[in-house]
A and B are shown apart, each in its own frame.
Chain A
Amino acid sequence: ETGVTQTPRHLVMGMTNKKSLKCEQHLGHNAMYWYKQSAKKPLELMFVYSLEERVENNSVPSRFSPECPNSSHLFLHLHTLQPEDSALYLCASSQDTGYFTDTQYFGPGTRLTVL
């Protein structure tokens, strides 16, 4: 379970704060993902990066800004969030984004609370 790590594990922030979530994968994968997991809602894919290039942005508000400096690290920069953004944010990685190589390996998540 140490293949994908996320920090911090818990974060409480005000609506005017700026914070960042960090994800690191130690699996030698080329693709990384951000998901949002809200109670009683489907897991939502937010961003997909393949070889540090953004592949997909599923209409995520601009107050969420991803950054992928290299294939091992993925950040989610947060600013001016709303209370409804409170959720568990999951990072995942996969070998690539092709079908046979995109099995998702998930991190433990960051529990975000926006006050």
Chain B
Amino acid sequence: AQTVTQSQPEMSVQEAETVTLSCTYDTSESDYYLFWYKQPPSRQMILVIRQEAYKQQNATENRFSVNFQKAAKSFSLKISDSQLGDAAMYFCAYRSSAITSGTYKYIFGTGTRLKVLA
């Protein structure tokens, strides 16, 4: 079974600085997809960034980028120029290939709470 591990329950970053959130996963599949979701306090969870496992190039969305290491099964999120609005719970997620496995799986980690210090 696939698992997603976020080993940092909480992290802090100074405003305007850069922070990296860690995520590792375990799977025997070769085709899958990875995501980072953000859940601000008392607000709805939204997608931050996604990565296809077959792509070697790391995904980037403005100040958010990932470091995807397929062999190491690592998928970290880097937030550059941190802003107060980045404070939230960040969830790493794994999605299996529904077509090949016949089963839809969307697996989340336990989350990392990011605090941004002014």
Contacts and interface: CB of A to CB of B under 8 A. Distances in A.
A45 B107 contact: yes
A17 B93 CA distance: 34
Interface string B32-65: 0100010000011111001010000000000000
A16 to B, nearest CB: 31
A104 B110 contact: no
B109 to A, nearest CB: 6
B30 interface: no
A48 B44 contact: no
Nearest to B37: A104
Interface size of A as a range = 20 to 34
A45 B9 CA distance: 21
Nearest to B99: A98
Interface string A66-107: 000000000000000000000000101000011100111111
Interface residues of B, number: 25
B95 A108 contact: no
B74 interface: no
Given A1-B44, A103-B47, A106-B44, A43 B105 contact: no
Interface of B: 4, 9, 33, 37, 43-47, 50, 52, 91, 93, 95, 97-98, 103-111
18 contacts: A1-B43, A40-B9, A41-B110, A42-B4, A42-B110, A43-B93, A44-B108, A45-B106, A56-B103, A56-B104, A56-B105, A90-B45, A97-B98, A99-B52, A104-B47, A106-B44, A107-B44, A108-B43
